[in-house]
Every structure is written in structure tokens, then in C-alpha cells.
Amino acid sequence: MNIKDIARICEVSPSTVSKILHGKDDDISAVTRKRVLDTVKEYQYVPYSKVIQESSLKSNTIGVLIPMNAYGAEELLCSIENTASDNGYSIILCNTSGDSRKRERHINILQNKRVDGVICVYQDREKADELDVPSVWIENYRADSMNGAFAQVCYEEKRAGYLAVNYLVECGHSKITCILREDDLAIEAGCIKAFQEKQLLLNKELIFKGTDREIRETGLTRYLDMDCTAVLCADTEIANLVYRRLGERGVTVPGGISVVSVRDGKLARQMFPELTAVQVPFEFLAEKAVESLLETVEKRESDHGCDRSVDLFMAERGSVKPPTSHIHGDKIVVVGSANMDCMLDVPHIPANGETLRSHSLQFQPGGKGANQAVGAGKLDGQVYMIGRLGNDRDGKELYNNLISSGVKVEGVVFDNVLSTGKAYVNVAPDGESTIVVYPGANWQMDIEQVENFEYLLNGAKYCLLSMEITEEIVKYTIQKCKMKNVEVILKPSVVEMIEESLFEKIDYFIPNEKELKQLIPGPESVEEKAEFLFHEGVKNVIVTLGHKGCYLRNKDYARFFPAADFYPVDTTGGADAFISAFAVYMSEGYDIIEAIGYATYAAGICITHAGVQTSMVSRAGLELYADEIRRKFL
């Protein structure tokens, strides 16, 4: 800064400024004199400083432009001062507070003080050329390019969001709520990237961004009510509010819900339990910034170039643990189809050649295999699935829904050739439905895939099979089940014939009335057809009969069971709900009659809602009817 700059700021001539500075200002008004002297004081102007600056003398002083209210400012400043002092330099602190006018004034002050260089922390780089001394910029993002006298030392906030989500997912969480501040765009991008890499769909409705007031009044109330097992917070202050709100509800951390912060701080260690957070190595970042600046100031050679970044890490404390497990019973493996269901409400089931108009179209996760896996998962069964999805949006949604329902999905593969299977479902007002299936990627599932995941059958009690996949896969899987002493539960959907040699290898055969009629045409009754299958070698035949209940035939029973008394809205998922509940309760050691009772009620509850997987009952919901089931079936 020179005398002309002071004159420009004060809107007077340079000669007026000179007279005031040299005490020759008798002819100048008191108001003008005060304005000039105040400006000189504000900018700490030193006459002839430019001449001194252009000399070869060094001041051994570093300027630091930093908003002291920023994340990590205290740690950065302390480390900058310590590192500078170790190298024989002192610092001049300039707190910009994010104010561009303050920054401009501080830059002039630093240049008047003849600093040898400047470290700019979280500063706007638009007017970087205002600095006529070497500078290093500490940022929370990586700039596209840095050149000339400017160098960058950085960490990436996007990386912080990525690490936090990745850590929670690896701990077993898939239902994660994110509460961020309104300008946390980089953190949000990192969170989304982590979910995409884990093949999980991040529901944007689970990400709340707002002001402090909006977070307190809306975010915490709304987003903690969602079905989540973990909360990701923008910083420790928000995490502290989450702790408090959960405590008011009687929810423990991490027993009830895990909590993690994207930004660390002293408060994290004062919370109970101590808060797990993403940590930025601010001391190391500051040391690198000072070293980089001194390399330029002292003309040292460097192998580092002008762009340096530091990685982040998780500071693991006590606020995160895997979701509480409520898994019951022995292992169940589902080998079957997964589709996206296209649900059409129709006035009645269409007849041959009839065209109907639908006034409602919904897309919901479906497929016999996925339905049964989700049904078992929601009942806290220990369930694994082997299946195939298209590598498309529908596939990702189905995959995410399996995980969020408690299904282990290591046997589910994404196909890069065919799209995810579709099922077109017509639903009439009385709840009856018809289905047309496009197999898609399901038809690409082959013996090699089952071989690759055959180990999942080790130690399993039951394998659930539905015939929306190829008969070749069904036969091969049954063969492997027999070798591993795994009992087979088969649903004969979308099939008109079954090879007779398979019957003696089926432990539980569960067709509905229409499927039974397709397999065994003729006027015989349900009991007679079930008798035929039993004599063909099927150990247990259970025919589901919709509103008429079901029929069991095995060596001990030939018995009808009534349906649960629920009003049907959509019967599409009833049979899958029945099978999944039957398998879970059998895996827990219930006898077959009581398992049928629970299965009947699971089916009844399912058909009271539209859709299939979304209508599967939870363990707690089904257990509400435990006494009624025992009275009715035992």
C-alpha cells in the first residue's frame, strides 16, 4: 500500500495525505484530517514501506489470513505458529471472519508489515493476485490447478462424507439418516458416492439439509422418526442435539441407534459415549503449509510440487456398533426370482380379448424369490438369497430393499446383458389378481452362479425355491440340497409340468389351487390331488386356497385350516407371505401346525395392503396375534 492508495480510499488527493502525515495540515479541515488518520491507522500504513519491501531485507514474519470461526481454525493456527517458530519465523494473525472487506484490509496490513509470505486458510481465491508475496492456500477441496507463486495444501470434505457412510455400511448399517447443514454440498456428494459404490440406493428423503433452526425444529423431529439404525451428522454440535433428542425418547447410543459425525471436535470427547467422527489431521496440514511456504520464501528445492493433499481417517470411539440383531432360527436360503412389479388396478380380471382401462399404476419390488426372502427377513429369519438382477435402476432398488429387510445378498448378482425382470399384475377390487412375468435377468441365472454360491447352503435348514427360474436350476439346486441335508420348500409358480422324479426330493410342496389344477388337470378334489402328490413322494403337501384357508397332507395329517379373517385388498403376495412365515417358524423348531397358523396370519395381514414386499408383516406385527393363532390352530 502507498500514499496513493490511502488518498483513493479517503477520496482526497495524495498531496493532502502527505501534508497530514508530515504535520503540514493547517489548511485542511479537522474532518478530512480525522478520516485520513483513521484510514492510516486501520490499514497500519507505514510510509516508504514499498521501498523497504523492495530491499533484500527479510522480516522473518508470516501472515495468516484465517476465519477463526471455521472448522479446525484453532488447531491450524496453533500448528502454524509452532512450525513457523521452529523455523525462526513469527506470525501475524488476521481474522477475516469470512468478510471480504476485512480480508482486503488485512492484506494491505500484511504487506505494510513486510511479511515474507502469507498462509490463506479457507479464503476466496478470486482476488489472489492482490498478494504480491508468496502464498499457500489451505482448503477443504482440491482446486483444479495451482501455479506460479500459489501453492495448495488441502483435504476434501467430499471424502469426509464418503468415509463416514462407508464406515457405517461396513459396520452393517444400510438405513442411514443424514442431517447436514444447508451448505454441505460436498459432504452430501461424498455420502451419495459411498452408497452408489456399495450398490445401495440412498433415498434422498433421508438426507436433511437446513439451517441450525430448521435442524432443531424440523430435522431432528422428522428424521429421527424414520426407520433408521444410524444417524450421520454434519458436526459434533448436531450430533450432541441428536444424543439429547434420542435420550428424551429413551433410545440409547449406540445400542438403539449409532451416531457418527463428519467433522470432529473437542465436544466429541466430552459426549457419552464419546462420538465417532471423521478426523482431519489439522496439525499435519498446517505443518505442510508452512513448509511449502518456506520452500518458496527461502528458495529451497522441493520434490512435492505446488499441490499437496492429506487423507482423512475415522476416529473410532463409542458411538457406533453393528445394528442390533433380532435374527431367529436356522439358516434359510432362497434361490429364486426378483422382479419389479407393475401394479395395475382394474375393474375386474380381464377375459379373453377384453381391453380394460386402469386408473392406477404403481411400481413395487417383487418376484417370488425376493418376496419370500423379504418376508423371511422382516420376520427376523436368518435368510440368504441367490438371484440375479439387471444392472439398472430397478435392480439397484430391489437390491437395496433386500438389504434393508435384513436379507444377506452376497449371492445376488448384477447382470450386464438383460434388464431386471418385470411382473405385470392386474388387481381387481376384490383383491384377486393375475400376473404376466417377463423374466429378464432372472433367466440368465445359471448353474455356474449356483455353484459359485453353493457354500451358502452349508448349515442351512431350508431352501426356498420358486419356479420363476429355469427348471434346470431348480433340479440342480434340489440335488445340492439333498447332498447337504437341506430341506426343500418348493412353490410351483409359472409351470405346467414338473418332472416326476423330483417329487420324492421335495420336503414341502406349496402350490395354490390354480397351480395344483395346472399340474394335475381333472375333476378330482383338492384332497385327492394332494393325496396323489403325497403318494408320488412329496413329504408334505400344503395347498393354499385363498379365502378358504389351506390344506395339509403328510404322513400325520390330512387336514384343512381356515383363513385368517382379514379383508383382502391385494392377494398377490399372500402365498409368498405364507411360505416365508412358514419357513421362519419351522426353522425355529415350531411344529408344522403352529407354523401353518403363523403363516396363515402372515398371508392375511399381507393381503390387506397393495403390493407385496411393502406389505410383508414384521415380527412384532405378527406376534400380536400369537394367542389368537394358538387358540385357533392348536
Whether 164 contacts 315, CB under 8 Å: no
First vs last C-alpha separation in the chain: 95
- Between β-strands 313-315 and 276-279, what pairing exists: parallel, antiparallel or unpaired? antiparallel
Which pLDDT does position 201 carry in this prediction?
59
Q: What is the DSSP string of 438-470?
A: E-GGGGG--HHHHHHTGGGGTTEEEEEEETTS-
Which residue in 577, 603, 598 sits closest to 586, CA to CA?
A: 598
| CA dihedral sign, ordered 212, 214, 215, 220 | positive
Q: Which residue has the cell 389351487?
A: 513
Q: Name residues of the chain where pLDDT drops below 50.
A: 50-56, 147-149, 303-304
DSSP class of 38: H
Q: What is the DSSP string of 86-129?
A: HTT-EEEEEE-TT-HHHHHHHHHHHHHTT-SEEEEES--GGGGG
The dihedrals phi and psi of 59, each to the nearest 5 degrees, come to -95, -10
Which pLDDT does position 136 carry in this prediction?
92
DSSP class of 214: H
Which pLDDT does position 350 carry in this prediction?
85
Contacts of 152 (CB under 8 A, 6+ apart): 136, 137, 138, 139, 142, 143, 146, 306, 307, 308
Which residue in 391, 405, 384 sits closest to 335, CA to CA?
A: 384
Which pLDDT does position 326 carry in this prediction?
64
Q: What is the rounded distance in angstroms from the CA atom of residue 119 to the CA atom of residue 65?
A: 6
Whether 134 contacts 297, CB under 8 Å: yes
Which pLDDT does position 431 carry in this prediction?
74
Which residue in 126, 122, 128 sits closest to 97, CA to CA?
A: 122
- Between β-strands 176-181 and 150-154, what pairing exists: parallel, antiparallel or unpaired? unpaired
Q: Which residues are registered as beta bridge partners of 364?
A: 341
Amino acid at 154: C
Instruction: Summarize pLDDT for 194-227 with one digit per residue, the tens.
Output: 988 876 655 667 889 999 999 988 888 777 766 6
Whether 62 contacts 91, CB under 8 Å: yes
Whether 175 contacts 204, CB under 8 Å: no
